[in-house]
Amino acid sequence: MEQYKYLDKEIQSEKHLSTLNVPVEMPVSELELQLNNSIKGLIYEDNSYEDDQDNLKARVWKLDRIRIAAKDSTFLFEVPLKIWVSAGYKISPLGITMSGYKDTEFSIRLRLISKIGISPSWQVHSDTYVDSYDWITEPNVKVGTFKIPIKAMVSRLLNRNFEKISSAIDEQINGTIDLKKYAEVAWNLARQPVLLSKEYDTWLVVQPSSVTMTPLLVNGNILRATIGVQAFTQTVTSVEKPTVPKASGLPKLQILDKVPGNFKIGLISLISYEEASRLASKNFSGKSYSFVKGQYTVQVTGIEMYGQNERLVIKVNLTGSMNGYIYLKGVPYYDPVTQMLSLKDLDYDLDTKNSIIRTANWLLQGKFSKMMENALVFPVGEQISSTRKIIQQLIKSYKVTDGIQLKGELSEIAPDRVYLTPKHLYSVVFAQGNVSLKVHGLKGF
């Protein structure tokens, strides 16, 4: 009797948990370029004399290109700054009191050290503090012939306001690197069904579920991290493009010390029982088989197939020394070497065996079941090979968006199992390989 644990729809909706690992690389020079494009003009200003015990106003601009050096997770920023100061003065030369305000401009080279990280909400954050600075040009204020010493006052002003300046730099850095925007683009693109085989109406549907990432580290002047996207993959047979649920939004990011360096995609090939029976009948029908040195001969006139839980039932119609049906059962499996759907442990059904023992014991002696096991193979590898080629071509050089390119390679196909449904035999395999995401030239990144 036919018995099935799975329906076609259940196999096609069965989700195979896979991990897509994406090494991300960004030259520090690219970060330097984007930071310079972002930080322009005025960085900080203090327009109140009352807020400053030294009776000073100040404005700070970026003077020249910011330079970045980095190692591991530590970044050294060298920031040339032009500073304008309006200083209040009060002097009494020769007993005559004079007071007022004088402006001066000078420049410094500021060195900041920063630690850059990523929060679970995908925000790049930096913790920056001033390491040191030196004068490019010094402040100088004169009233008439009198030189007012304000360098010490300006130094105190700078020391008290470095935190404000570094906070302004942090704000610019955090706004410059927008990982979330590009993660959302990749996340939503991954969810779009991909036609794997027009001939077999086969689609690959990916439903991402979570994202992990290693800390941002610099090695060889390259900013590197590895993103791991856990996703459920489905291979769906449909004439129309499958519909996907509405995106729930990018999940919180999990930061891990290490993300595995490969990915795995579940793929499905299928063959109907009618097609399998037709191929088997074409191979066996009309052929005669002799037993016991030619004393008995049977001819196969037809073959039917169906499922019984985990086993495939082979119903064979014989004529000749025996007229009637015999039933054999075997466990189907996908052989990655031959790329065939094959059978193992094929043997007579218990009722068939008992009947043969009583009426045609010679059939047991002829190893008919073993011959059937060796010959009953079905070519499903073409579907898998076609799917593999399409995915390989897709990830070989795939432009996700401006400045983001996906590159990868499939290294092997590993079998999982074969499912029997009322209509088909499904061979499930996993494609394994590696993928890298190249980031360059991102506008506004």
Helix axes 151-176, 28-38, angle to 10 degrees: 110
The two structure tokens encoding residue 361? 């014991």
Pick the range with the lowest mean pLDDT from 43-57, 259-273, 297-311, 424-438: 43-57
Lowest mean pLDDT among 99-108, 139-148, 246-255, 272-281: 139-148
pTM: 0.57
Q: Where are the beta strands (DSSP E) in 4-140?
A: 16-27, 42-46, 56-62, 67-71, 74-91, 98-118, 124-137
Confidence of residue 444 (pLDDT cuts 50, 70, 90): very low
Six-digit token pair at 379?
């070519």
pLDDT for residue 339 is more than 80: yes
What pLDDT does residue 327 have?
Answer: 93
Task: Give 185's contacts (C-beta < 8 A, 6+ positions apart).
Answer: 400, 401, 404
Task: Provide the 8-state DSSP code for 206.
Answer: E
For 106, half-sphere exposure in the C-beta direction (CA atoms, 13 angstrom radius) is 22
Confidence bin at 277 (pLDDT 50/70/90): very high
- The confidence score (pLDDT) of residue 40 equals 82
Top pLDDT among 275 and 203 is at 275
Most confidently modeled range among 124-128, 184-188, 243-247, 326-330: 326-330
The architecture (CATH level 2) of 28-177 comes to: Super Roll (3.15)
- Paired strand residues for 419: 426
More confident residue, 114 or 38: 114
Decide if 59 contacts 106 (C-beta within 8 A).
Answer: no
Instruction: Dihedral sign for Cα 352, 357, 359, 365, please.
Output: positive
Give me the pLDDT at residue 432, please: 79
pLDDT recorded at residue 400? 63
pLDDT in tens, 47-104: 765 554 556 678 889 899 999 998 888 889 999 999 888 866 555 555 555 556 678 8
Computed over every residue of the chain, the mean pLDDT equals 80
Torsion-angle region of 330 (φ positive above 0: left; ψ -120 to 50: alpha; else: beta) = beta
Mean per-residue pLDDT, 113-136: 87
Q: How many other CB atoms sit within 10 Å of the CB of residue 145?
A: 6
Q: Which amino acid is at 61?
A: W
Task: Please say if the pLDDT value at position 442 is more than 60.
Answer: no
Q: Look up residue 227 and give its amino acid.
A: I
Res 328 pLDDT > 90: yes
pLDDT value at residue 445: 38
For residue 416, the tally of other CB atoms under 10 A from its CB is: 15
Residue 52, amino acid: D
The band of 209, judged by pLDDT with boundaries at 50, 70 and 90, is confident
Least confident of 88-97, 115-124, 127-136, 349-358: 88-97
Cα–Cα distance between 252 and 177 in angstroms, integer? Answer: 17
Give the pLDDT score at 443. 40
For residue 403, the one-letter residue type is G
| 438: pLDDT strictly greater than 50 | yes
Measured distance between the N- and C-terminal CA atoms of the chain, rounded to whole angstroms = 63
What is the pLDDT at residue 311?
A: 94
Q: What is the pLDDT of residue 330?
A: 94
pLDDT digits (tens, 9 = 90+) for 129-153: 889 999 998 887 766 666 666 677 7
- Strand (E) or helix (H) holding 32: helix 28-38
Query: Tokens standing for 339?
Result: 């790329």
Per domain, the residue ranges of the chain are 28-177
Which of 212, 206, 205, 218 shows the shortest CA–CA distance to 183? 212
Distance (Å, whole) CA 38 – CA 171: 11
Name the token pair of 51.
């807020």
Quick one: average pLDDT of 407-424?
82
d(CA 123, CA 229): 18
Better-predicted residue by pLDDT, 238 or 303: 303
Burial of residue 41, with CB atoms counted within 10 A of its CB: 0-12 exposed, 13-18 middle, 19 or more buried: exposed
Residue reference for tokens 């009060």: 90
Find out whether 35 and 66 touch, Cβ atoms under 8 Å. Answer: yes
Predicted confidence at residue 108, as pLDDT, reads 92
> Is residue 150 a contact partner of residue 105, using CB atoms and an 8 Å limit?
no
The pLDDT score that the predictor gives to residue 182 is: 65
Contact 433, 410 (CB under 8 A): yes
Among residues 349, 370, 384, the alpha carbon closest in space to that of 271 is found at 384
